[in-house]
A and B are shown apart, each in its own frame.
Chain A
Amino acid sequence: MSQPISNCPNCGAPVQFRWSGAAQTACPFCKSIIVRTDIELKNVGEVADLPPDPSPIQLLTEGSFGGQRFNVTGRLVYEYENGGWNEWHIVFSDGSSGWLADAQLQYAISRLAPAQALPAQAEISRGKVMTFNNVEFEVATLTLARYKGFEGELPFPYYGKSDMLFADLRTTGSQFGTLDYSEDPALLYLGEWVEFDQLQLKNLRQFEGWA
Chain B
Amino acid sequence: MSSPLVAPPVVKTKSLSCPNCGGPVELRGFGHALTVVCPQCFSVLDASTPELKILQQIEERWRRTPKIPLGTRGKIGGGEFEVIGFQTRSVEEDGETFSWDEYLLFNPYKGFRYVVEYDGHWNFVTPMEAMPHRIALGGRPGVIFEGRRFKHFSGAEAVTTFVLGEFPWRVKTGDKVIDDDFIDPPTVLSAETTDEEVTWSRGEYMTGAEIWKAFALPGPAPRASGVYLNQPSPFKSGGMWTSFGGMLAMVAALAIFFSVFSANRTVFEDHYQFQTGDGREPSFVTPIFDLKGRTASLELTVHANVTNDWAYFNFALINEDTGNAFDFGREVSYYTGSDSDGPWTEGGQTSTAYIPSVPPGRYYLRVEPEMDANAGSFVRASNGKMTRVNRMSYSITLKHDVPDYTWFWIVAGLLMIPPLAHTVRGRNFEVRRWMQSDYPPVQHGGN
Indicate yes or no for A touching B, C-beta below 8 A: yes
Minimal beta-carbon separation of A210 from chain B (angstroms): 5
Minimal beta-carbon separation of A79 from chain B (angstroms): 9
Does residue B170 face the partner (Cβ distance < 8 Å to A)? yes
Per the bound structure, the CA–CA distance linking A63 and B331 in Å amounts to 93
Minimal beta-carbon separation of A6 from chain B (angstroms): 11
- Residue pair A104, B32 in contact (C-beta under 8 Å): yes
| Chain B residues with CB below 8 A from A47, complex form | none
A140-B198, A141-B197 given as contacts; is B168 within 8 A of A58 (CB)? no
Minimal beta-carbon separation of B23 from chain A (angstroms): 22
Per the bound structure, the CA–CA distance linking A49 and B30 in Å amounts to 18
Minimal beta-carbon separation of B85 from chain A (angstroms): 13
| Chain B residues with CB below 8 A from A173, complex form | 130
- Residue pair B11, A106 in contact (C-beta under 8 Å): no
A82-B170, A171-B131 given as contacts; is B107 within 8 A of A104 (CB)? no
A15-54 CB contacts (< 8 Å) to partner B: 15-16, 25, 27-28, 52-54
Does residue B196 face the partner (Cβ distance < 8 Å to A)? yes
> Which chain A residue lies CB-closest to B34?
A83
**Given A82-B34, A104-B112, A105-B110, list of 20 further CB < 8 A pairs?**
A15-B3, A16-B2, A52-B11, A54-B11, A54-B30, A58-B8, A60-B5, A60-B7, A83-B168, A104-B169, A105-B112, A126-B196, A171-B130, A171-B131, A174-B129, A193-B129, A205-B7, A206-B11, A207-B11, A207-B108
| Chain A residues with CB below 8 A from B127, complex form | 106
- Residue pair A56, B108 in contact (C-beta under 8 Å): yes
Q: A106: which of B31, B107, B111 is its contact (CB, 8 Å)?
A: B111
A16-B2, A54-B30 given as contacts; is B130 within 8 A of A172 (CB)? yes
Q: Which B residues fall within an 8 A CB radius of A?
A: 1-5, 7-8, 10-13, 29-32, 34, 48, 78, 80, 107-112, 127, 129-133, 144-145, 168-170, 196-198
Does residue A99 face the partner (Cβ distance < 8 Å to B)? no
> Which chain B residue lies CB-closest to A176?
B129
Minimal beta-carbon separation of A84 from chain B (angstroms): 9
| Chain B residues with CB below 8 A from A176, complex form | 129
| Chain B residues with CB below 8 A from A170, complex form | 129-131
| Chain B residues with CB below 8 A from A53, complex form | 31
A172-B131, A207-B11 given as contacts; is B32 within 8 A of A54 (CB)? yes
Does residue A185 face the partner (Cβ distance < 8 Å to B)? no
> Which chain B residue lies CB-closest to A127?
B198
| Chain A residues with CB below 8 A from B169, complex form | 82-83, 104
Interface digits, A100-141 against B, CB 8 Å rule (1 contact, 0 not)? 000011111000000000000000001000000000001011
15 intermolecular pairs with C-beta atoms under 8 Å apart:
A25-B3, A54-B29, A58-B7, A60-B5, A82-B34, A104-B111, A104-B112, A105-B32, A108-B129, A170-B131, A172-B130, A172-B133, A172-B144, A172-B145, A197-B110
Give the secondary structure class of B's interface: loop
Minimal beta-carbon separation of B346 from chain A (angstroms): 70
> Which chain B residue lies CB-closest to A27?
B3
Does residue A209 face the partner (Cβ distance < 8 Å to B)? yes
- Residue pair B107, A210 in contact (C-beta under 8 Å): yes
> Which chain B residue lies CB-closest to A203?
B7
Q: A56: which of B2, B34, B48, B109 is its contact (CB, 8 Å)?
A: B109
| Chain B residues with CB below 8 A from A208, complex form | 10-13
> Which chain B residue lies CB-closest to A26?
B3
A167-207 CB contacts (< 8 Å) to partner B: 170-174, 176, 193, 195-197, 204-207
Per the bound structure, the CA–CA distance linking A204 and B110 in Å amounts to 12
- Residue pair B112, A28 in contact (C-beta under 8 Å): no
Per the bound structure, the CA–CA distance linking A130 and B170 in Å amounts to 31
Per the bound structure, the CA–CA distance linking A141 and B131 in Å amounts to 12
Does residue A1 face the partner (Cβ distance < 8 Å to B)? no
Minimal beta-carbon separation of B366 from chain A (angstroms): 86
Per the bound structure, the CA–CA distance linking A21 and B13 in Å amounts to 37
Minimal beta-carbon separation of A75 from chain B (angstroms): 12
Does residue A12 face the partner (Cβ distance < 8 Å to B)? no
| Chain A residues with CB below 8 A from B4, complex form | 28
| Chain B residues with CB below 8 A from A82, complex form | 34, 169-170
Most A CB within 10 A of own CB, among B78, B112, B198: B198
Does residue A59 face the partner (Cβ distance < 8 Å to B)? yes
Per the bound structure, the CA–CA distance linking A205 and B107 in Å amounts to 13
Q: A140: which of B107, B112, B197 is its contact (CB, 8 Å)?
A: B197
Q: A141: which of B1, B7, B170, B196 is its contact (CB, 8 Å)?
A: B196
| Chain A residues with CB below 8 A from B112, complex form | 104-105
Per the bound structure, the CA–CA distance linking A193 and B30 in Å amounts to 23
Does residue A14 face the partner (Cβ distance < 8 Å to B)? yes
| Chain A residues with CB below 8 A from B10, complex form | 205-208
> Which chain B residue lies CB-closest to A13?
B1
Minimal beta-carbon separation of A23 from chain B (angstroms): 15
> Which chain B residue lies CB-closest to A53?
B31
Per the bound structure, the CA–CA distance linking A60 and B7 in Å amounts to 9
| Chain A residues with CB below 8 A from B31, complex form | 52-54
- Residue pair B110, A196 in contact (C-beta under 8 Å): yes
Per the bound structure, the CA–CA distance linking A54 and B3 in Å amounts to 24
A126-B197, A193-B130 given as contacts; is B1 within 8 A of A14 (CB)? yes
Per the bound structure, the CA–CA distance linking A25 and B12 in Å amounts to 28
Minimal beta-carbon separation of A134 from chain B (angstroms): 15
Minimal beta-carbon separation of B106 from chain A (angstroms): 8
The 5 closest A-B pairs by CB, nearest first: A105-B111, A54-B31, A16-B2, A193-B129, A54-B30
| Chain B residues with CB below 8 A from A5, complex form | 2
A56-B108, A172-B145 given as contacts; is B3 within 8 A of A207 (CB)? no
Per the bound structure, the CA–CA distance linking A210 and B80 in Å amounts to 9
Minimal beta-carbon separation of A76 from chain B (angstroms): 17
| Chain B residues with CB below 8 A from A54, complex form | 11, 29-32, 108
> Which chain A residue lies CB-closest to B29?
A54
> Which chain A residue lies CB-closest to B10?
A206
| Chain B residues with CB below 8 A from A196, complex form | 109-111
- Residue pair B130, A205 in contact (C-beta under 8 Å): no
